[in-house]
Structure 1
Amino acid sequence: MEMVTHRIKIRAFGMIAEKLGADCLDLDSIPTTEVLRGYLYQQFPELEKMKFGIAINKKLVSGNQPIPNEAEVALLPPFSGG
């Protein structure tokens, strides 16, 4: 039986990219936004203090959402401005 890998591309912006030390990550086996947040908080504890939005394939999502295979996930810092 073939092992199917669930791959996603993470793009980080602003302060979040600074905390990650990169603006792009490739991750495996992240099925939902809840699992993604858990992974990020474990790897980058400073992110727990930050509010950030998550967009999947250029659509902003809230709550726990499934992340499709090969999705592009953006981590968006809070927006400010007028």
Structure 2
Amino acid sequence: MEDKKYSVGQHVFIISNNSYVMEMEIMRITGDFYTLRYVQNYGSGIRLKKYRLYSTKEEAEAVMDSERKKRDSGIGRPRHWYD
């Protein structure tokens, strides 16, 4: 997996609530944490680690779809859930 480089002012995408992709702007980088601001609502923001950021909307949607397939396939569910 390639190490992505992000910079202040760059627009990135995150997966919110495991259900939709949001566009964010990088405001500050402190160590492993990125302070992000919502593009559509400039009054609020969030701090996340780099592994939660995606360069394109398509990349974030692909990850979200693969996680949804894993969750819906039953992988990792206890046996008694099927009985």
Using the size of structure 2 for normalisation, the TM-score is 0.29
Instruction: Report the structure number with the largest CA radius of gyration.
Output: 2
Using the size of structure 1 for normalisation, the TM-score is 0.29
Larger RCO, structure (CA 8 Å, separation 6 or more) = 1
